[in-house]
Amino acid sequence: MSDIEQCLPLGKPTRYQDSYDPTLLCPFPRQIKRDEIGLAKELPFGGFDLWTAYELSWLNRTGKPVVAVGEFRFACDTPYLIESKSFKLYLNSFNQTRYPDVAVVAEQMREDLSRASGGEVKAELWGVEDSSRLQVGVLPGDCIDDLDIEVADYRLNPQVLVGAADDESVVAEELHSHLLKSNCLVTSQPDWGSVLIRYQGGKIDREALLRYLISFRRHNEFHEQCVERIFVDLLRFCRPQKLTVYARYTRRGGLDINPFRSNFEEDIDSIRLVRQ
């Protein structure tokens, strides 16, 4: 068993706890995987990880259950990301705990997640009747999934991006794909996602880009790490002056993770997709 597997609850028998316990949160150092792609402490991007939690519940003052949806925003420069299974276990620990109102619950979660990640986390909870918060939308720009390409290799291969940018044709465009699939770093369970790439620079060959994204199909890495790897590979091989990479992953255990990285944008819309 690797050092990573030993420190994470993934893939291990778990007894679900329904009384509040912040020690269930399992931080994972971001720098471990950043070292693999040559990222020093000074990052070439800003951004955040946007989590949506669909399975939230606790008890009110009189013991009646309350249910809600939550959104949590972790800045990408926090020293730690939160391993998703531990996040789920932590949220479930609220199930049989009494709180006076939703604001107290949100503040408790904000404090715990900020402490675990090593940086300020934004937490917002709202009622399930507020359907306006999570309307299904579509990613902007051109979808490249209908390109008629032949694919024979499903191992991560950034080399397909070599020469993919035409420096003589400078463009600003938005491209997206729903064919992103990677696997959990520890359990190898499939992670399904859609990715938006917004850039300005030499025009990127769309077939090469699609082959590159498909090459993640057997790659084992957490969602946040995949997005950072895509950003770094595009920056290294295609050299855009401006670059945003934003992925929307399908949920597991009532949680979806949506990492956003950019060297020119500070924020992006939370676009819930049909698979989410």
Mean pLDDT of the chain: 94
pLDDT in tens, 215-269: 999 999 999 999 999 999 999 999 999 999 999 999 999 999 999 999 999 999 9
At 8 the pLDDT is 56
Report the alpha-carbon distance of residue 30 to residue 77 in Å, rounded. 9
pLDDT in tens, 111-120: 999 999 999 9
Report the alpha-carbon distance of residue 70 to residue 50 in Å, rounded. 10
How confident is residue 155, by pLDDT bands cut at 50, 70 and 90?
very high
User: How much is the average pLDDT of 41-66?
Assistant: 97
When computed from its CA atoms, the radius of gyration of the chain, rounded to whole angstroms, is 19
How confident is residue 128, by pLDDT bands cut at 50, 70 and 90?
very high
At 138 the pLDDT is 97
184 tagged catalytic: yes
Domain ranges of the chain: 3-134, 142-262
Dihedral sign of CA atoms 260, 264, 269, 271 in order: negative
Would you call 177 helix, strand, or coil by DSSP? Answer: strand
User: How much is the average pLDDT of 46-72?
Assistant: 98
CA-based nearest residue to 262, from 239, 234, 237, 231: 231
- The answer, yes or no, to whether residue 41 has pLDDT greater than 90, is no
- The answer, yes or no, to whether residue 9 has pLDDT greater than 90, is no
According to CATH, the topology of domain 3-134 is GTP Cyclohydrolase I, domain 2 (3.30.1130)
Please tell me which residue in 26, 76, 112, 184 is annotated as part of the active site. Answer: 184
Same fold, 3-134 and 142-262: yes
- The answer, yes or no, to whether residue 11 has pLDDT greater than 70, is no
81 burial level (CB within 10 Å; 0-12, 13-18, 19+): buried
pTM over the 0.85 mark: yes
Length of the chain equals: 276
Using alpha carbons, list the distances in angstroms from residue 231 to 25, 101, 126. Answer: 28, 40, 32
pLDDT in tens, 173-224: 999 999 999 999 989 999 999 999 999 999 999 999 999 999 999 999 999 9
In the DSSP assignment, the letter for residue 93 is T
Take residue 29 and report the two structure tokens written for it: 């150092």
- The answer, yes or no, to whether residue 16 has pLDDT greater than 60, is yes
Class of domain 142-262: alpha beta
Please tell me which residue in 49, 191, 233, 256 is annotated as part of the active site. Answer: 191
